[in-house]
Every structure is written in structure tokens, then in C-alpha cells.
Amino acid sequence: MPVRRSTSLLAGALTLAAAWLGPLPALAKTSFAGHMFLHMAVVAVAAPLLALGVAGTRHDPVRRAPELFPAVPLSGLELAVVWAWHAPALHHAARSGAWAFAAEQGTFLASALLVWLAALGGGARLRESRALGGVTALLLTSMHMTLLGALLALTPRALYAHHGAAFAGTPLDDQQLGGAVMLLIGGVSYLAGGLWLTGVLLRARREARG
């Protein structure tokens, strides 16, 4: 495996370890902003690093079965996962129960990995044929994370009143801070991925024309 891919894979694994074994899970139980920092560390930092680490290698599942990784439908799956876990009832369950928390974090990671692998995987042979779908999926995900983050940041009432305020003065302040974290980190990460993939596709087409 090339050094850059090994470094990306290691960075992704270390990010997950820091997210899940560090202070964020404890903070997430009492702070919505803490929950959102944890969420973004998993889906917007660790997942793309892990996907970059395996993309194009012999461990890349997209190379073996590209038909199982339709990028746009998988972005719809991630949308459903993210929005469902931010419904107040499910969010409260994940904050108060170990099994629900494990299910939340596992589905966050799995759905994000599927989207990033669908967008970035397959290697050079499949990249151009899959690039449009990958760009679309990443930009759609950026849009829905930006929308959800904005809704949480701008809402005039606390949806998660059971939370404390580890990062801000009131539960509403804490929720609005969490929404801003999602908007800035999640929205920007997926947008950057889509723009980077667009650049890769344009360079490949220029090179093909000679």
C-alpha cells in the first residue's frame, strides 16, 4: 500500500480512537455540542480518511463489486440515518443507553463509509465512470448536513432540553452551537470532497485529450 494511503488509513483509525475512547462520549451524554463534535469526527474526518486509505487498493470493495456501491442512493441512506438519529426521541435514547449509543455510532460510521467509498473507491479504472455519481452524492450530503445544521443553529427553541450546557450557557445555546458545528464541519467536509473529486475528473479528461 502506498505511503500516502497508509498514512490516511492510520490517521482515520487514530481519529476514531480519539473520538470513541477520549472525552467526547462522556461529553455527548450531557451536551448536544459534545455529541455533534463526536458525530463530525466520525463521519466528516475519520470516514473520508479511512475511505482514502483503502480506495484503489486490493482492499477496496468498490473494485470487486462496484454495483453494490451506487453513490447517490447511498447518500440517501446516510441522510435517513443522520436525520433519524437527530429526532429527539432517538437522540435521547442514544444519550441514555449504551446499546442505542453503539447503534448510533455504528450506523453513523457505516453509512458515511459507504458514501465516501462509493465516491472515492474503484481505482483509476472506474474513477471516471463513477465520478459524476460520487460528486453528486458528496454535494447532496453536504447540502443536507448544512440544512440540518442550520435548522439546529437557528431554531428558537431547545429540541433537546434534557441536555446540559457543557459548552454554552443554556440548552438552546448548546444546541445552536452543535448545529453550527454540523454546518461548518460536516457541510464543508463533504463539499470539499465533492469539489476535489470534480477536480480529479477534470484533470483526467484533460489528460485523456492530450
Nearest to 79 by CA among 148, 174, 25: 148
Model pTM above 0.85: yes
Summarize the confidence of residues 14-33 as an average pLDDT: 94
Q: Kindly state the cell numbers that stand for 64.
A: 470487486
Written in H, E and C, the secondary structure of the chain is: CCHHHHHHHHHHHHHHHHHHHCCHHHHHHHCHHHHHHHHHHHHHHHHHHHHHHHCCCCCCHHHHCHHHCCHHHHHHHHHHHHHHHCCHHHHHHHHHCHHHHHHHHHHHHHHHHHHHHHHHCCHHHHHHHHHHHHHHHHHHHHHHHHHHHHHHHHCCCCCCCCCCCCCCCCHHHHHHHHHHHHHHHHHHHHHHHHHHHHHHHHHHHHHHHC
Is the distance from CB of 193 to CB of 116 less than 8 angstroms?
A: yes
Query: Does the pLDDT value for residue 28 go beyond 60?
Result: yes
Residue pLDDT, tens place only, 176-202: 999 999 999 999 999 999 999 888 888
Q: How far apart are CA 107 and CA 52, in angstroms?
A: 19
Residue pLDDT, tens place only, 82-136: 999 999 999 999 988 999 999 999 999 999 999 999 999 887 666 677 888 999 9
